[in-house]
Structure 1
Amino acid sequence: MNVPPRHRLALAVSLSLLVAAPGLAVAQDSPPPAQQATTLDSVQVTGTRIKKAEIETEVPVQTLTREDIERTGLTSIGDILQELTGSGSALNTKFNSSGNFGFSPNGDGVGAGSAQVDLRNLGAKRVLVLVDGMRWVNESSASGVGATTDLNTIPLAIVERIDVLEDGASSLYGSDAIAGVVNIITRRNFEGGQVTLNYGEYGEGDGAQTGIDVAWGMNTDRSNLFLGVSHVDQEEIYSNTREQASFPIPGTGLTFGSSGTPRGRFIFTDPNTGITQDITPNEGNSDPTYDPTQTCDRTDGYHCFGTPDRFNFSQYNMLLTPSERTGAFGQYRFYFNDNVHAYAKALFNRRESVNQAAPEPIFLGPDAGTGNPYADDIFISADNPYNPFGFDLVSVDDPDTAENEANLILIGRRPVEGGARVFEQQVDTQYFAAGLEGSFEAAERSWFWDVNFATSKNEAEQTNYGSYNIRNIALALGDPDVCAATSGCVPLNVFGGPGTITDEMLAWIQPVVRDRSEQTLDVFTANMSGELLDLWAGPLSFAGGLEHRRYEGSYQPDPLTVAGFYNGVPSLPTSGEYDVSEAYVEFDLPLIPEGSFGQGLDLSLAGRYSDYSTFGSQFTPKYGLRWQVADELLIRATYAEGFRAPSIGELFGSASRADLQIDDPCLVGLDGSPPDGDPANCDALGVPDGAVQTNGQISVTTGGNEDLEPETARSFTAGLVFSPAFAVGTGWSERLDFELTFYRHSLEGAVQAIDAQTQLNLCVETLDPLYCEGISRSSVGSINGFNNRLTNLGSIKTDGWDADIFWTLPATDAGQFKLIWQNTIVTRYEALGAAGQRQPLGVGIEVTDSAIPEWTSNATLDWRRDNWNASWTVRHISELEEQCGDAVTFPVCSNPTEGTNTLEAMTYHDLQVGYRFDMLQGLQLTAGVNNALDDDPPICLSCSLNGYDASTYDIPGGRYFYMRANLRF
């Protein structure tokens, strides 16, 4: 299609935005003859429902073409989208999440093995993902009911292009489109066959990724058919293969390692001497002798527990989790005549992924803080044949006798005999859609209509090997007579160090745990678009439609977990459903005719009415201005109101636990640093002087809330697109485009639980019940209960700028060069909690695996000459700052006087070169390297697991080499 210059201004998208009606895919080659007459005159783009010849709208849309996608060398849609400058922190396969992150306070599980997208740092659940204009089903992770889309359920091989709308769009698309919309357009009009082979690995020779894609299509005068099959296999990388990730927090040694050790840590008060012991067996001593009269200058089989005894759990983690994805997709279209055609499409995708955590620790006693009475209120009999202390270890006073007074504080034993915790996920995605699309003439005007139905399902199962049954542990440690009377029970030895837990003991305490979850989505839509009438400045364009959706979701943990016997993170079943009916209307009103004030001024008006079965109705409007000042200059602005309905997990999620890294301001730090909380307030909270924090992880229990209201938002964008005529068809420039966009998002009533660290700090600082309610402490001062629930409590405000340049140089004997330079500058990010308390995340700040760089930039120089092509991409992330916490005394904390650590700015260089052979329809060979300068990610003290921010930087670091062969026939 030949588009005049003033119609090719918006971003790099303009030349590739062809038909993308709801439920329909874009034309990738020339359309069948029956379709040409209508589609060449009017097209539709992401961000508007109106079809018209003017193809750029009031909103900025960024398009990733098939060429852009292949230039990255990546095999996951999520990984590709996370490299956009406007993307924020989101989950991906570099997060070794299961067994470590616990459960999200949103009731959506940990999303193990999934890949998500976040726009404008507003969270992945506030981004709406469409496939061919239709909503995609939310993820199932087998550990909750998710509120986001798992992009790993969509094979990259079926994608023709991806449109990213970085603006609020609830008036057009409904809930979840607060931060923007990702519309994935599938391949359609395809003639012949194609086979693509991919292989890549890291410079260390690990993390291999292999893939094969097969595509085939045919077109006739009345129909077209496309079939595609894809298989991707990504291998794991273990953290112990990389020096920087070989400690729990790099640069601090074992200080922040776990007190759950293979030899065991035992803290108790000896009832015979009154001495409080904190001891661990000497190395190699599997049958230690205990002398109650000794303290830390010991000559028996023990020594006092210290930092060198802590366990380095990071050695068992993964830097890159394995993921095997197999997908099949097909769609068929039949043209009844020039004006009506039908389509049907189907997809099946299976993802098999694995997470691994260190052998599961067993924590017993009041300082364990698990919230499970089998662990916290444990009784260990003196008659247990392996108990070396000669007396009962009791967590809770026995009111009926003076003999059994509480004397146990903590036992931490990590049974390495049982192996690492391995979490295997299998996620099956099924999708089917069908519909009709057509056009007709009425009153000398063209009208377009479509009717669509789609049904989709995600089913997930997670199998957990290496966890323990805490009830059976309690039986095996308790009265031997009770154990003997219980079928299968054998006494357990947690006292003797590694190797003393036998296979027979493991058979009693170590089950296989299986969890399941499922989400389904049914969608019906009907749309119409056309020109209503001619006005003084041009035709009044219109679009309107109806939509009905039904959501169902459920999470079923293993019966062992439901019964409260699971030693790991507890959870309960979740299930729920709701439906929504919606109607929308959109108008494009020309205000001033061409020639009066430039080439034209248009006003767009849109509104959507939504009726939810869970909370009632909602109306969201949107207003936009588009001023074509001249052929060279477009100015545009939008104002939109939006909302996000609470998800099934947020509404109906039962209480679940997350083990979070929290510094208790009332306790002596893990590194021995004194408490920084107000002493009087800590005393009022029941914390004894000198109480020590034994573990950095504190269990926080959260749950859903059926009284939640929708989040509401306001979005504003304003910008310009400038294509100077002096840079068109000259000796130094074939075309030059500039784009500048200002954005502002304001979110109210955010569904969230107050940040746990912030809540604890405010509790200690103020003693206000608003913060202290739900936080309980044991007799030794440690937190043994931390409960909060979701509510509409927060606000988020963010604004910034996008600045992009697109420059195509004239072709010469040396070839043709193109430069694309895209930048996002975040000028404000402010998140407030329930009572206006400032949340820690902000611009230029890193907080617990999440960051908001002030400036992110991607620049690509592309070169083509004859059959050769090459590219050089530079990705820049500005520096970040984080709190050092208890690590302030270590050299890795770069600003100890201020208590902060700087994560230096990173700049990655990616190179690619390719050659096309003129055989069959073409054989394209491509080779590339990402992170060509071999840069390692900066150490992150506040990040969990491996000490890296896996959503901001290239993990595991080092060069990534890849090759691709693409044969068309």
Structure 2
Amino acid sequence: MVVKSRRLQRSRLSAALFTAMLLPLATGAFAQEGADSSSGDAQSQETSRATEIDKITVTGSLIPQTELETFSPVMTITAEDIRSRGFTSVSDVLQQNAVSTGGVQGAQTSASFTQGAETIGMFGLDPGYTKYLIDGRPMANYPALYNGSDTFNNISNIPIDLVESIEILPGGQSSLYGSDAIAGVINIKLKKQMDGTSLNLRGGWYGEGGGSSFRISVADGFSAADGRLNGLVGVQYEQRDPIWAYQRDLTKQYNTDGTSPPLASRDFLVYGYKDISNFGFGNFGYVPLPPEAEGCANVDHLFGGTEGERFRPGSGEYCGSFFTPGYRTLRNEKEATQFMGHLTYDFNDNAQLYADLLYSHEKVGYHVGSNYTWWGTGVKWGYFYDPDVDGLINLQRGFAPEDMGPEGYRNSMNFDASDAYQAALGVKGYFGESDWSYDFGGTHTRYELEERNFVRWADPINDYFQDKVLGPQQGWDPYFGAYPVFTPDYGAFYQPISPEDFASFTGYANSRSETSDTMIRGQVTNASLFELPGGDAGLAIALEWGRQKWDYTPDSRFLDGSIWGTTAVAGGGERDRHAATAELRMPLLDMLTLTTSGRYDSFSPDGGQKLDKTTYSVGLEFRPVDSLMFRGKYGTAFRAPTLSDQFQGRSGFYTFVTDYYLCSQAGFDPNDPAQIDACPTQLSNRQVFGTQSGNLELEPINADVWNAGVVWAPTSSLSFTADYYSWDIDNEVTQQSSDALMFQEYRCRAGIDDINSPTCVQTLAQVTRQASNNFVTEIYTPKINVSKRKMEAATASFNYLLGTDNWGQFVFDGNYTRILKHDRTIYEGDPTTDYLDNPYYSTDPKDRATLSGTWIKGDWSSTLYMNWMGETPNYIASVSTAGYDAPGAKKLDDYYTFNASVSYQALENLELSFLVNNLTNEMPPFDGSYPGSTGSPYNSSNYSVYGRSFYLEARYNFGN
């Protein structure tokens, strides 16, 4: 067996921390792998190893060592923690962790660019600032781009039942792990050994409806060839139903408790300039319902009978429903299968072959909602002239579930199917009888994604409505000679559509994308390089070569205009990567250890210039007594331009923007959501074309990082940690949101900001307006190295183990994170924005904490897990530049959720569990500042409306 180690002289600190890790494993069939007496030697070896605590390799260091806590804080969530706290996925584990303070897009957004993926924002930084590893090897990047522009990792496809532990390493770690490790590193360790076969069955449901799930996993460990061949194989299968917005009271209809009355959707709308001879804002509005509409009677059965005649003050009448927000998914339906295999073969005492394989196939289904399932004349014709009205007119028509057939909106679902692979092969061991070890191997990751998008075909849908409603074009308008003339049949417009007709102009378009990363890596290590007063010095040196690839190929019809109202992001490229890493650990004294590391990375993109980066770190551990350690680290970190940053093609997209400037010119205050709501539709919800592209000239994002902290174990059963982190980040790649760009443009044109400032000059260059009427026609959101950011955060944790004679054992642990500072400068020369006190730029909480208590007695165990989130801004505070000074702005109350579980060891090899997540059925805190025009009166980046869920679980170990 290729293991050489020196045993730890156990300090009280190590004993406390190690006991805290092991005690929760005292219950559970999976945790008792090898409990069968036939496992004999293996079990005794494991017990001995656990008792003596041999040198181990911890996340945050390449050198095996005897300390569980080092200069780099590591948070560990074990498999038993995952099970007892009710977590349903790896993303659930991480999103409910205290370091996950940043809001991210998820399934509740319904129409994000990466609807089928899940991620976190560690310390409020962007998802791409966190490095994800599986068994110490980098994960494959998700092929689609987060928010349409950024590369990130999807963590929804990792088999949760086959995870041994998850380690979170906060702070900059690039000197060991390279690019992306600015916010921190997350290492997901899969199971590597098991005696016999284990079977896990789990079923769940939500009290509010929807989201029912079933999961089964099987894992089997084996040994052969006189113990020289060892392995583990495991399979997990999961199926989950969607949650629809109509299944939750808060999202089934337009907001009934907002700052304005509920506003029904405009499903049948005729709007425009009703008196062309008096062209201007004063005559813009809705054209009255014609007699042929029969007061919406012809369509009042749509949307479940909720369609009817509606009126918006200042605009006019139309046909709509208050319940259309319910026709979107809040949580994706899902079917997933994962397989993992781990194999080792000992050639001799000094050489071991290893092979690992992780494969995942995942299919998710979702619906973007009624707001995105419509047709209008504006996309093709802009406006048309109706001589009977003597006005420039547009038609808008939403599609109801009854238009789509018996299954309604299920007939227009979107589906993402993905296949992800990670394979590793290598050999490790020792050079003869020396203390030099080696690990030479290769890893290949690949992620393939197929997005099957429900679309409206541009020519068929326009032809259908022209044939049925508009009729033939009758020339050009008499005033400008620029707008086509139609005399619509309004009676035909205010009619339902047959499912056959709907199918004639809709269908599916398939887009394919993939990422891959091939890496060859060699490392040599000597944990006993030479002796120092405090112990043996250690050295590790590693060399890497890799080839990275990204390709996103949308269906060509997204790019040539064949698809109505939708376009796509395209691009692709490859690059070589080289890296060299060295780490030196030196116990200078019994109480003082110094660790240094350095790394050189270079990237050579095809067709672009080579870029490289050197990073380093210096860490100190000071132990004045056995029970106390002070620690600190200073270093540098970076993020290389991603392949999408470099190779994203000149891609277009359609988006709806609010023209804050023209709204302000029309007398509507952009700082007042209610007034913007009343701004004419053509300005407050204007569809424009946007462009974005990659940049081969981008440079790395740089960061100076440091942390300092203390670990204290006053007794062998109690420990505390507290750490402070600082980031100074510059050269950030920035791409503004369309809405933020339009709001900034208003501020510049209105003279609120200096029109000659760098921000205003850049902003006005990115917004294109028509010369004739000043309407926005196009926006450009480029990627450039320009922004700076400074952040400070603090974390704290504790573990306490209490054993009693009569009441069993109690295990408590807690984690707390507070963001102390988050300042950002978007463009050079601009004032710095305080993201903590300016809710317009960030709605993330400053504080987050978790607390867990577990009771174990005999065959019973129970856990109560609390997740706490501090105050966040309400809606008005987040949309007004006045922030908390805006009328009605305030902070929402703290938010608590509780998970609870009870487990019973029914038989020696059978454990039964009942789990309840969100025990008190907490919904997002009430926010009365949302207007009546929203169907989601809560911040979906921070809160969930899923509510209480229940799970039954059975875990059986068949033994050898």
The TM-score by the shorter chain falls in which range? 0.7 to 0.9
C-alpha separation between the residues in 2 aligned to 1:494 and 1:90?
45
1:813 to 800, 803, 806: 806
C-alpha separation between the residues in 1 aligned to 2:648 and 2:801?
52
Note if contact 1:909-1:933 (Cα within 8 Å) is conserved in structure 2: yes
Whether 1:792 aligns to 2:796 is no
Give the corresponding residue for 2:10.
4
Deviation at 1:440, TM superposition (A): 3.5
Q: Bigger CA drift: 461-470 or 213-222?
A: 461-470
C-alpha separation between the residues in 1 aligned to 2:888 and 2:71?
45
Give the corresponding residue for 1:87.
100
What secondary structure is seen at the aligned counterpart in 2 of 1:764? helix
2:550 to 543, 548, 553: 553
Whether 1:268 aligns to 2:273 is yes
Q: Which amino acid aligns with 2:250?
A: Q
Q: Which amino acid aligns with 2:515?
A: Q
Give the corresponding residue for 1:104.
none
What secondary structure is seen at the aligned counterpart in 2 of 1:153? coil
> Deviation string for 1:903-939 (max 9, x for gaps)?
22111122111111233xx111111212212221125
The 5 Å alignment of 1:952-963 reads 952-953=942-943, 955-963=944-952
What secondary structure is seen at the aligned counterpart in 2 of 1:762? helix
Give the corresponding residue for 1:905.
894
Give the corresponding residue for 1:412.
396
Give the corresponding residue for 1:567.
564
Query: Would you tell me which structure has more helix in proportion to its own residues?
Result: 2
1:66 to 79, 83, 86: 79
Rate the CA distance shift 1:193–1:581 in 2: closer, same or farther, 3 A.
same
Give the corresponding residue for 1:398.
none
2:349 to 324, 328, 338: 338
Q: Which amino acid aligns with 1:336?
A: F
What secondary structure is seen at the aligned counterpart in 2 of 1:948? coil
Rate the CA distance shift 1:665–1:945 in 2: closer, same or farther, 3 A.
same
> Deviation string for 1:232-281 (max 9, x for gaps)?
1221111122221134556349878687x321232135557869452246
Q: Bigger CA drift: 304-313 or 639-648?
A: 304-313
Rate the CA distance shift 1:465–1:345 in 2: closer, same or farther, 3 A.
same
2:828 to 800, 813, 835: 835
Whether 1:880 aligns to 2:872 is yes
Whether 1:133 aligns to 2:136 is yes
Note if contact 2:657-2:685 (Cα within 8 Å) is conserved in structure 1: no
Note if contact 2:768-2:778 (Cα within 8 Å) is conserved in structure 1: yes
What secondary structure is seen at the aligned counterpart in 1 of 2:250? helix
Rate the CA distance shift 1:274–1:820 in 2: closer, same or farther, 3 A.
closer
Rate the CA distance shift 1:675–1:229 in 2: closer, same or farther, 3 A.
closer
Deviation at 1:959, TM superposition (A): 1.6
Rate the CA distance shift 1:654–1:166 in 2: closer, same or farther, 3 A.
same
Note if contact 1:775-1:787 (Cα within 8 Å) is conserved in structure 2: yes
2:747 to 765, 774, 777: 765
Give the corresponding residue for 1:642.
637
Give the corresponding residue for 2:916.
929
Deviation at 1:775, TM superposition (A): 1.1
C-alpha separation between the residues in 2 aligned to 1:493 and 1:347?
59
Give the corresponding residue for 1:619.
614
C-alpha separation between the residues in 2 aligned to 1:858 and 1:929?
17
| TM-score normalised to structure 2 length | 0.82
Rate the CA distance shift 1:512–1:498 in 2: closer, same or farther, 3 A.
farther
Q: Which amino acid aligns with 1:710?
A: P
Q: Which amino acid aligns with 1:353?
A: V
Give the corresponding residue for 1:528.
524
Note if contact 1:585-1:607 (Cα within 8 Å) is conserved in structure 2: yes
Once superposed, what is the RMSD of the aligned Cα atoms?
Answer: 4.0
C-alpha separation between the residues in 2 aligned to 1:499 and 1:818?
64
C-alpha separation between the residues in 2 aligned to 1:133 and 1:379?
58
Rate the CA distance shift 1:306–1:85 in 2: closer, same or farther, 3 A.
farther
Rate the CA distance shift 1:937–1:243 in 2: closer, same or farther, 3 A.
same
> Deviation string for 1:416-449 (max 9, x for gaps)?
335655211111112221111112355xx52221
Rate the CA distance shift 1:828–1:236 in 2: closer, same or farther, 3 A.
same
Rate the CA distance shift 1:119–1:792 in 2: closer, same or farther, 3 A.
same
C-alpha separation between the residues in 2 aligned to 1:432 and 1:494?
61
Deviation at 1:885, TM superposition (A): 7.2
C-alpha separation between the residues in 2 aligned to 1:869 and 1:335?
39
C-alpha separation between the residues in 1 aligned to 2:73 and 2:516?
31
Note if contact 1:140-1:427 (Cα within 8 Å) is conserved in structure 2: no
Q: Which amino acid aligns with 1:71?
A: S
Q: Bigger CA drift: 132-141 or 647-656?
A: 647-656
Rate the CA distance shift 1:590–1:578 in 2: closer, same or farther, 3 A.
same
Q: Bigger CA drift: 311-320 or 276-285?
A: 276-285
C-alpha separation between the residues in 2 aligned to 1:303 and 1:874?
46
Whether 1:423 aligns to 2:414 is yes
Note if contact 1:189-1:219 (Cα within 8 Å) is conserved in structure 2: no
Note if contact 2:619-2:632 (Cα within 8 Å) is conserved in structure 1: yes
Unaligned runs of 5+ in 1: 18-25, 102-109, 290-298, 369-374, 383-387, 393-406, 484-489, 595-599, 683-688, 729-734
The 5 Å alignment of 1:105-144 reads 110-141=113-144
Q: Which amino acid aligns with 1:89?
A: G
Rate the CA distance shift 1:198–1:283 in 2: closer, same or farther, 3 A.
farther
Q: Bigger CA drift: 349-358 or 653-662?
A: 653-662
Give the corresponding residue for 1:433.
424
Deviation at 1:92, TM superposition (A): 6.6
Deviation at 1:886, TM superposition (A): 11
C-alpha separation between the residues in 1 aligned to 2:688 and 2:833?
18
C-alpha separation between the residues in 1 aligned to 2:312 and 2:920?
49
Q: Which amino acid aligns with 2:268?
A: R
> Deviation string for 1:659-678 (max 9, x for gaps)?
7786543244899944569x
Q: Bigger CA drift: 625-634 or 644-653?
A: 644-653
The 5 Å alignment of 1:845-924 reads 851-884=843-876, 898-919=887-908, 922-924=909-911
Give the corresponding residue for 2:506.
510
Deviation at 1:48, TM superposition (A): 0.4
Rate the CA distance shift 1:303–1:187 in 2: closer, same or farther, 3 A.
closer
Rate the CA distance shift 1:634–1:661 in 2: closer, same or farther, 3 A.
farther
Give the corresponding residue for 1:239.
245
Give the corresponding residue for 1:825.
818
Q: Bigger CA drift: 145-154 or 59-68?
A: 145-154
> Deviation string for 1:866-918 (max 9, x for gaps)?
11101112221111114517999xxxx99895342432211112211111123
Note if contact 2:863-2:900 (Cα within 8 Å) is conserved in structure 1: yes
Note if contact 2:737-2:781 (Cα within 8 Å) is conserved in structure 1: no
Deviation at 1:78, TM superposition (A): 0.8
Give percent identity, aligned residues only. 24
Give the corresponding residue for 2:59.
46
Rate the CA distance shift 1:540–1:302 in 2: closer, same or farther, 3 A.
closer
Q: Bigger CA drift: 808-817 or 529-538?
A: 529-538
Deviation at 1:463, TM superposition (A): 1.3
Whether 1:202 aligns to 2:206 is yes
The 5 Å alignment of 1:402-481 reads 408=392, 410-416=394-400, 417=403, 420=409, 421-440=412-431, 445-469=434-458, 473=462, 477=466
Give the corresponding residue for 1:176.
180
Q: Which amino acid aligns with 1:923?
A: L
C-alpha separation between the residues in 2 aligned to 1:805 and 1:717?
18
> Deviation string for 1:742-795 (max 9, x for gaps)?
111221111121354444343333333222112133555543322120111212
Q: Bigger CA drift: 467-476 or 79-88?
A: 467-476
C-alpha separation between the residues in 1 aligned to 2:884 and 2:492?
43
Give the corresponding residue for 1:57.
70
| TM-score normalised to structure 1 length | 0.82
The 5 Å alignment of 1:148-167 reads 148-167=152-171
C-alpha separation between the residues in 2 aligned to 1:90 and 1:675?
25
Q: Report the number of matched residues.
A: 872
Rate the CA distance shift 1:699–1:898 in 2: closer, same or farther, 3 A.
farther
